Amino acid sequence: MSSQKLSNSVQRIQSSAIRDLLKHSKMEGVISLGGGIPNPDLFDTEGLRIAMDRALTQDGHNAFQYGLSEGDPLLREAICRISADRGIDCTPDDVVITSGSQQSLDIIARALINPGDVVVVERPTYLAALQVFQLAEAQFKSVGTDGEGMIVDELEELVKQTAIKAVYIVPTFGNPSGVTLSDARRQQLVALAKQYDFLIFEDDPYSEINFTSQTFRPLKSHAQAMGASDQVIYTSTFSKILAPGARVGWITMPGWLKSSVVNLKQATDLHTSALSQSLTRHYLDTGRLPEQIKLIRAAYKQKCDALCVALETELGDRLHFYRPLGGMFLWATFKEAFNTTEWLKTTLSNGVVYVPGEFFYCDNPDTSTLRISYASVSETNLVLAAQRLKASLPQ
């Protein structure tokens, strides 16, 4: 008996090279700029305890019993209120609760992608999204990004020549790129989707972590204003603002997709943990989320500022980067030819790790890039990390 029994689709995602690369990141004295995890020191432990207490007291058996595949109706109502604040008009019927954004993407891919369908991603794009589209046997095309996010003109050239099924995009405070799609490009993208009849998978985990006073209107909101609402499938999550371990996210989708997504959710895991949903709903009811988001914004902004200054000071002549307007990631590119995967051995021995950029491409990786996550690192360590990176440079 051996791997000859494995399905073709799982063989597409056999290796997880990053995991091997980052296995040293928890070593004593190593500063990790690698993992994309929220800072646990900012968890609202007190609020979460209050919420859990209410969940167990007020929801009785419901927190422990089987529930609806589409999710708790009261939580879906609360999500509609959050959505309204973001400029998205929806009702609980448009929303399905998932076990986090990763599951949202997997369900969307399974609902919509046939083998060979073309999915367009950003260069660079979110690694785990590539995995789910690979599982669905999508064919990838990619479009470059700059300081204003995806270069939509480049997409336009592509869709003139090739029929595409969908564009997958993290438009706001992107992972890994750290950049944000400009408003003009948002409208341009939605107009293209309408004209060329493709779907937009809008992945929005980070938009609440905004370092600016600007608002960044979701593509879904633009689409509603532009008569293209049927074209945009929107996903978001509580992972980055509340508690990733609870695994609660959601999909907001057009009516034509709803029953397929619910059927898939049911076939996939019946429903998202009732306990996690109950916790989330009661936390929202405490009214503490806005303060919690303010706290996260301020803390991450401070870290991001410290990182940018340190990088500029230590490596400004060698590295180029766009200053993030929010989120958890900074993307840097060496100004000369460079291989950040090979360099990692040196930086590790100097006590700092990051994620080499090449893993975030579906093709033709730019090896001179790296992703830096600052969310869980102290300012002191961010400065120290920049110094260690400098010390690791080839002379």
Interface residue with a second copy among 6, 27, 84, 225 (CB under 8 A) is 6
Q: In the window 275-334, what residues touch a second copy (CB under 8 A)?
A: 275-276, 279
Q: In the window 258-277, what residues touch a second copy (CB under 8 A)?
A: 259-260, 263-264, 266-276
Burial 222-244 (b: 16+ CB within 10 A, else e): bbbebebbebbbbbbbbbbbbbb
Q: In the window 159-198, what residues touch a second copy (CB under 8 A)?
A: 165, 197
Q: In the window 26-65, what residues touch a second copy (CB under 8 A)?
A: 37-38, 40, 43, 45, 48-49, 52, 56, 60-65
Phi then psi dihedrals of residue 236, to 5 deg: -150, -175
Nearer to a second copy, 148 or 230 (CB): 230
CB of 321 to a second copy, least distance (A): 25
Between CA 390 and CA 395 the distance in angstroms is 10
CB of 79 to a second copy, least distance (A): 18
Nearer to a second copy, 10 or 184 (CB): 10
Between CA 34 and CA 356 the distance in angstroms is 9
Interface residue with a second copy among 218, 244, 324, 326 (CB under 8 A) is 244
CB of 194 to a second copy, least distance (A): 10
Nearer to a second copy, 198 or 338 (CB): 198
Contact 330, 304 (CB under 8 A): yes
154 Cβ contact partners less than 8 Å away, ≥ 6 residues apart: 143, 144
CB of 82 to a second copy, least distance (A): 19
Interface residue with a second copy among 74, 82, 135, 191 (CB under 8 A) is 135
Contact 240, 89 (CB under 8 A): no
Burial class from Cβ neighbours inside 10 Å (0-12, 13-18, 19+) for residue 14 reads exposed
DSSP symbol at 367 = T
Interface residue with a second copy among 220, 247, 282, 303 (CB under 8 A) is 247
**Residues binding a second copy: number (CB under 8 A):** 76
DSSP string over 40-55: GGGS-HHHHHHHHHHH
Alpha helices per DSSP H over the chain: 8-11, 17-21, 45-58, 73-85, 101-112, 127-135, 152-161, 183-196, 219-225, 255-269, 274-286, 289-315, 340-349, 379-391
The 91-130 contact track toward a second copy, x by CB under 8 A, reads -------xxx-xx--x---xxxxx-------------x--
CB of 342 to a second copy, least distance (A): 25
Per rule CB under 8 A, is residue 219 in the interface with a second copy?
no
CB of 215 to a second copy, least distance (A): 27
